[in-house]
Amino acid sequence: MTSQTSPELERLGIDVIRGLALDGPHRANSGHQGTAMALAPAAHVLWTRILSYDAAAPMWPNRDRFILSCGHASILQYSMLYLTGYGLELSDLESFRQWGSRTPGHPERGHTVGIEVTTGPLGQGFANGVGMAIAEQNLRSRFGPEVCDHHIHAFVSDGDLEEGISHEAASLAGHLGLGRLVYLYDDNHVSIDGPTELALSDDAAGRFRAYGWHVLELGEAGDDLDALEAAFRAAREVEDRPSLIIVRTHIATPSPDHTDDPAAHGLAFSAEDIARTKEVMGLPPDVEFFVPDEVLEMYRSAGRRGAVAREDWEQRSAPTIAARAAEWEASIGGIGLPGWDDALPTFTLEDSPATRQASQACITAMIGGVPGLLSGAADLIGNTGNKLPGRPVLSREVPEGELIHFGIREHAMGAILVGAADHGGVFPVAGTFLVFSDYMRGAVRLSALSQSKCVFVWSHDSVGVGEDGPTHQPIEHIMSLRLIPGLTVIRPADGNETAAAWRVAVNGEGPVAMILSRQGTPTLPTSAERAGEGVARGGYVVLDAEDPDVVIIGTGTEVAVALSASEMLDDNGIVARVVSLPSWELFDEQDDDYQQSVLPDEVPTVAVEAGTTLGWGEFADAAVGIDRFGASASGSTVMRELGITPENVVEVVEAVLDALNETSADPTT
């Protein structure tokens, strides 16, 4: 509370927020009004009485975090960011959901100042918050409470709680006792199709208590500012478990036309409905985006108030940060200490590890050199190569742990990874089998949209998995991941390429998908010298030849297949260049000269990859791949039976060359 604030002014402020929630979507003819109106009192309390933040320093490391998991109510968050002084202007609210605006349809991290995570797909923000709480706990345990000591708040909806990802994330959060996590559940009993009772009869309070959460049931307190404040403060006092505040709200309140109306979940209000609602609130019915000076000053004052806490933190944390400057900077940047990659292993021609094993050697070498490293897996830490030997396991009893057992929770694991990355201060890594990346895809897509710096380690990358059969043998997965803009997909061919891939992941920005083999693969003859630069550029020549007749491209374990095929072709008088193309995305970033030096247009090209051939037409004239599901047998048998062999590559190369020769010999073509 400030000296400029009174109960009457607070009520006016809440009504102004509701007015903006009506006007923004109405002007855009698109959006969600009712939820934002119902949550206006809770937002007011949170931004004016609870959150520790400084609007003038939105990236202050020790700020409280806020997540609008019900991202469809984005006009509410934009209104609060404008009112409290984050840099949005009233004109930004007026251009809500329009081309080029700073107020897109759902909150986007990196697009709008003050947005911590990208939300909209329901349940993702819920799980992101768990990742943020893990990152906060990790930083606090490493640097001390004088450096890190804050909370993560979120508004969550019925839809968030219905999505399966919230069950996984809530279960893990309760298991870990993440006490800095405070969620408000907007229990409005409304879904798009009608009352939530059409499909939902869960006992939310009982469910979360069973997960080990602290639950506060406020009942009909959606407009009770003091009750909301007391609940937030009580929840923040609970250190040994996350908290859920359940509030019965009424969507679109105080509209005389649409309160508790399922239509208010979307764009329900006509101009006349808006005018009547504004009259009920005492706002001028014919004025859009009405924000009186005294209301703006109240919220701007709240936005400035955190400067004192920030300045106090800067003084309090300065000695620790100065004494550990390199570690702090590396942690905040999610990067390594100077020279961290000197410890990465080099593999010789005598070595033939699976790339998941090579990755494990790399992660082990990164311990200490990458201070924020958090590694884990979905019950597959050993299988994926994500162990941290000698480092503690994260648990309720050992909150400083760096190794995370996510359990069988792939959906939540992906979003938790994104939340930890978005929080900052850590370099999060997690793994499972590639075929289960399907469970994580929603989170992976949002990580790419947000450019969240994390690494998804997906092993068992092909039908080489073997006996587990087609349910566990990925076919379409690598190509489908390449379709995601902003995701760097790297499928290394051997141990040296794997080390180079980790160098890219740590030194770069944004999310990386590390695609690793179950089975061993030989060290390439030139990778020790060439992989460092070659992987960073997405592709390089492994085996060169003067004036080649054909270029064979491989990725992952199939580069070795390409090399064997080149030897067989040489015996047949056909000269082949072999190229490793571990990352399409990195290769696409190179200039035309480099791309031509690796894949010259004038030379026919054949690709080999143990997955779908769809998409390879961008680089190759023909592709050896698998356009069906796999089968249960040994990995080598399945590879052989499905044509991922040097012999088949030779046949395809010869067919391509024969077709070109016939074409060139035909004067009519």
Task: Catalogue the active-site residues.
Answer: 410
- Three-state secondary structure of 251-291: CCCCCCCCCCCHHHHCCCCCHHHHHHHHHHHCCCCCCCCCC
Report whether 28 contacts 97 (CB < 8 A): yes
> Torsion over CA of 634, 637, 642 and 647, rounded to 10 degrees?
150
Select from 292, 70, 23, 339 the least CA-distant residue to 185: 70
Using alpha carbons, list the distances in angstroms from residue 407 to 52, 168, 379, 404, 515: 33, 9, 5, 9, 21
How far apart are the C-alpha atoms of 2 and 300, rounded to whole Å?
11
How far apart are the C-alpha atoms of 39 and 312, rounded to whole Å?
31
Structure tokens at 291: 């924000």
Query: What's at 481, amino acid-wise?
Result: L
CA-atom Rg of the chain in angstroms: 28
How far apart are the C-alpha atoms of 5 and 302, rounded to whole Å?
10
How far apart are the C-alpha atoms of 330 and 372, rounded to whole Å?
7
Query: Around Cβ 342, how many Cβ atoms within 10 Å?
Result: 9
DSSP SS3 for 598: helix
How far apart are the C-alpha atoms of 613 and 610, rounded to whole Å?
9
Q: Following DSSP, what letter does each residue of 392-428 receive, concatenated?
A: PBP-SS-TT--EEE--S-HHHHHHHHHHHHHH-S-EE
Strands 181-187 and 152-157, how do they pair? parallel
How far apart are the C-alpha atoms of 383 and 433, rounded to whole Å?
8
At residue 393, what are phi and psi to the nearest 5 degrees?
-85, 135
Strands of 592-638, DSSP E: 605-608, 622-624
Report whether 16 contacts 290 (CB < 8 A): yes
Q: Which residues, including other chains, have CB under 8 Å from residue 30's CB and lie 6 or more apart?
A: 97, 105, 267
Residue 557, CB-side half-sphere exposure with 13 Å CA sphere: 28
Strands 243-248 and 214-219, how do they pair? parallel
Both ends of the chain: CA-CA distance in Å? 82
Q: What share of the chain is helix, strand, coil (3-state, %, to 5)?
A: 45, 15, 40
